[in-house]
Homo-oligomer: A and B are copies of this chain.
Amino acid sequence: MLRLSKKTDYALMAMKHLASDPRRRAASAREIAESYDIPIELMAKVLTRLVRSGLLVSHQGVHGGYELAQPPAATSVAAVLEAIDGPLTMTACTHGDHECDQFSKCNVRDPLRRIRDRIAAILAECSILEIAADPEPSAPPVRVMSSPAMRRVSAL
């Protein structure tokens, strides 16, 4: 659960690809797609969404392709997620739309919104630059918890 969509994965791969390219020239959808065994049409669709959201700029024509619209440090992972899958929701009621059957009686709405905000902050603070700087975490590696350990609250 809390799964990222495949399209989001592809988007992040493409963003990193563009951020890491030393030549800093436009890369075509085909080039990126083939680098990672991604279906070309799907990659193209993803890239188009990134353009529409202003994260990439595109050039049509023979030597066209895609470039980062901003330096890698200026684009957050959150922005990429939003570009592909729309606003970061978590629950049906996160943003206004009272479309959930339990809306009136729900007792976890506010607490969940708080959690959502914390997660959103993490995603907003993580830039493509950080993603591109693969070798070694900049933050101290948080201990991965296995199921039994997660059962109990660690800090509190």
Contacts and interface: CB of A to CB of B under 8 A. Distances in A.
Contact of A150 (B85, B105, B120): B120
B134 A76 contact: no
A20 to B, nearest CB: 8
Interface string A109-142: 0111011011111111111011100100101011
Contacts of A110: 134
A40 interface: no
Given A1-B8, A79-B152, A82-B150, 13 more contacts: A2-B2, A2-B3, A9-B106, A38-B102, A70-B152, A82-B147, A111-B131, A111-B134, A117-B143, A118-B122, A124-B153, A126-B153, A127-B156
